[in-house]
Chain A
Amino acid sequence: MFPIIRLVNRNLTISINPAFLLWQIIFPVIYIFIAGFAYTSLIQEVPYGVKNLGYPAFLASGMIGFNIMNSTLVSGIIIWNDRKYGMFEQIMSGPFTRTNYILSNICTIGIIGLVSATLIAVIGYPVFFDSIEFSLITIPLIVFAAVTGSVLFGSIASIIATKLKSSEGFNVILNTAFLFFAFVSTAFYPAVGAPEPLRTVFFFNPLTYLVDVIRAGIFGEITQLVIIEMGILASIATILFIIATKLLTKLDF
């Protein structure tokens, strides 16, 4: 077995526990089926390309992106725990390189991101099945978004984990950053109608691009803007991944 696969196996074992899985299911269920339908009285339909989406369908597709981002907290937590509990040093004294370690983390969050996206797609299917337009082009789009989004947000979590020494600081900063990403994006509501400058700020947020690409994949609306967003997403993910890798490589024992 390749070293990276062995480390991924280990990462999945230590990060996936019943509480995590339950949270991954319960959280989106509450959002989609309670908030989604409750807010229908405020937002009945959301214009999306040539269609009008029901709010639950809009929210469910946004939840896929949100959950991918949330799952990547795992990456930061793995690095943080490995440093705190001495496993980073222990692994590095074994038959692994730092590159193995970094790539295994990325693969781990990629897998968790994909599984998470699939899970929400299955859970949310009853609310957006009317508007779904899957095709051979749109499905790879969702996979692209899941993997790129995982790398992007996983890298952010990794950067924070390498930079902070106190667990309080780590939790506060990570949660604040992810809360900002969640609510200053188009995951829960459309940008159209949001007041300026909030509306503009939405587009400085990578979660907005991630969610837009996922929606394009689900509802089959691949526009030029979506392609640009994919490029931006991939570029930010690459830059953040390089920064995270450099910081991890410089970690002292």
Chain B
Amino acid sequence: MSCVNVEHLSKSYGSVIAVNDISMSIKKGQVFGFLGPNGAGKSTTIKLLTTLIQPSSGNLSILGINAIKNPLKVRHKIGAVLQQPSFEPTLSVEKSLEKYGMMWNVPKTERKIRMEKLLRDFELVEIRKKRNEDLSIGQRRRVQVAREFMHEMDLLFLDEPTVGLDPSARRNLLDYLKKKVKTGLTIFFTTHILTEAEYLCDEIAIIDQGKIIAVDTPEALKKRFGNKKTIKIHLLKNQEDIISLLSGIPDCTIDFSSGTNITIHSEQSEVVLMKVLRILNENGKEIDDLSAVPTNLEEIFLKMVSENVSNH
């Protein structure tokens, strides 16, 4: 069942087209990653989906509600952690959570229970009495994300929620989100850190220059765009004759950064690797280290964005 349906959505500011005719569908209970370089239109898309701004054209259905006609109805059912930090400087961490729950009309007893749980889950117990203005950027971001879980929601928008978090807090947050998804929450997630998207997202859309250039699962994207693998070999000794030995292998490109390092790029990596190993073995070349690097999302992302730029 679709949770978000976007059809030909566009948003222009004067002559600048921030979001250009995008369409996508997000299934219930999944984490949908939204990737793109700076200024690609990610935040504008989030503002459109959270009904903060109205589109210039197109259709938008959120949780089965026409979001253009009934934005308030949509906002009752969603949560949003926006890219910009948001906090009340004079309130303490616990008061921030408590008041945010009150703003969402969460009953007082329930607020207290949720607050205590979130303080623990987001490791905020020690700083619960600290005022927001005295927190570090990372602590403030944790409070901002934790605060959103004070209320019930069906769909959560997270615009780069891990910015400013240390690696441990980042992993805790991603694991917390994974747990929440298992309870039926749908998450729309934007990030610059592609390993996060790979770790968390069930489906990914890549946006560039206001247009969606790919939508698929991380694995399918890798299959579609990342057939080429990289094999790295480090030889024990400097081997001057290695270029001539390997030059006859078809379907690959070979880089020698020095006499001992060989980097091979190929779409037929397994076959090429076997051939390389055979040649090295037959010629008595000793290998110090060998690694086959799978294509990661970052490489695909960079490749797609650069291709998109050159197409324009």
Contacts and interface: CB of A to CB of B under 8 A. Distances in A.
Interface of A: 1, 6-7, 9-10, 13-14, 17, 81, 85-87, 89-97, 253
B interface secondary structure, majority: loop
Contact of B53 (A1, A9, A253): A253
A86 B83 CA distance: 10
Nearest to B50: A93
A91 B103 contact: yes
Contacts of A87: 86-88
B103 A85 contact: no
10 contacts: A6-B102, A13-B91, A14-B91, A90-B86, A93-B75, A94-B80, A95-B72, A95-B75, A96-B103, A253-B53
B237 interface: no
B89 interface: yes
A187 B199 CA distance: 66
B52 A253 contact: yes
Interface in B75-125: 75-76, 78, 80, 82, 84-91, 95, 99, 102-105
Given A85-B88, A95-B72, 15 more contacts: A6-B105, A7-B103, A14-B88, A81-B88, A85-B87, A85-B89, A86-B86, A86-B87, A87-B88, A89-B84, A90-B86, A95-B75, A95-B76, A95-B105, A96-B75
Interface residues of B, number: 25
A54 B85 CA distance: 54
B85 A94 contact: no
Contact of B99 (A10, A17, A85, A92): A10
B90 A17 contact: yes
B95 A13 contact: yes
A70 B84 CA distance: 31
A5 B37 CA distance: 41
B47 interface: yes
Contacts of B76: 95
A91 B50 CA distance: 12
Nearest to B76: A95
